[in-house]
Amino acid sequence: MAVYNGYKGANTCTKGPADGAKGAMSWFLAKYKELGGRNSGIYNCRNVRGSSRTTSLHGEGRAVDFGLKWYDKISVFEEFAEQLRLNSAELGIQCIIFNRKIFSGGYANKGWHRYGGVNPHTDHLHVELSWGAANRDLEDTIALWERELGGAGNVKPVGSKPNPKPSVAKQPTDYKDLAVDGIFGKQSVKAFQILMRAVGHYNRAVDGDFGYYTVIALQKWLRGLGYYPSNKYVIDGKAGAATYKALQQFLAQKKTLDAKKWLIDGKFGKETIKAFQRYMNQQNGK
């Protein structure tokens, strides 16, 4: 167990994911799938978010995004992130970003410190490999990660998928059409939960309870749609003016809320709820 020292930034885009990165992802999916681990992408030729100049390590195919599906498992992944840091020398990890914290081999002795980038990294661990680790064989990498961190066996080697973006309800949904009555009751909440299940933001019971996990889903969904930016708002499971304002903006854009007639004021009133119900009816069965 040792901490990696050193950092090498990216220069230009290569052609695809490095084998070492694919190996790391294969290992991750086998070990963390049951806890909601997923492949949030390896290769992506783009700049660092929030910068117009710096090439992201994803462009060299040596950054992996270990995704987590369920926000409530965040403590499991906190522990995982720390294991990665403590074994970063053996694994050849030069940088980790997770949950508003960063570890970088560029200043390894500082440990974790605050990460203020545009994306808070609450739904994935961004893990950067050194060139040495990236160039390792896929199979060797899986064996190495199993040796250092243990494994679940049954590793299926992966290729690279592009970063999946949550899409608005493309899968079939099957709730009853809602009465557009401006009352956000159990039926409306259930319909929303079904919709959020279909887009992967909600994995709990469809119980019509507008509680913590349902609000988390609402906030994540709005974030994915670009209405609840991470540099301004947190995903905290508390529905307040910021969440409702984002929802109103989305519904106005979808034209189920008439923004000429009604204020975008962050209040979850009758007209907003009616607009939300109209939207959910439009999505029904799609």
Binding residues vs Zn ion (CB under 5 A): 63, 65, 126
Integer Cα distance of 226 and 223 in angstroms: 5
CB-facing half-sphere around the CA of 237: CA atoms within 13 A: 10
What are the beta bridge partners of residue 39?
A: 66
Nearer to Zn ion, 61 or 201 (CB): 61
Give, to the nearest 10 degrees, the angle between helix 270-283 and helix 241-253.
50
Nearer to Zn ion, 42 or 247 (CB): 42
Least spacing, CB of residue 30 vs Zn ion, in Å: 20
Nearer to Zn ion, 71 or 115 (CB): 115
Least spacing, CB of residue 85 vs Zn ion, in Å: 16
Least spacing, CB of residue 127 vs Zn ion, in Å: 8
User: Which single residue brings its beta carbon nearest to Zn ion?
Assistant: 126
Q: What are phi and psi of 119, to 5 degrees?
A: -105, 125
- For Cα atoms 92, 95, 97, give the angle at the middle one, nearest 5 degrees: 135
Least spacing, CB of residue 22 vs Zn ion, in Å: 15
CA 215 from chain centre, in angstroms, equals 16
Least spacing, CB of residue 81 vs Zn ion, in Å: 13
CB-facing half-sphere around the CA of 130: CA atoms within 13 A: 17
Nearer to Zn ion, 63 or 216 (CB): 63
Nearer to Zn ion, 125 or 218 (CB): 125
DSSP state of 108: G
- 3-class SS at 47? strand
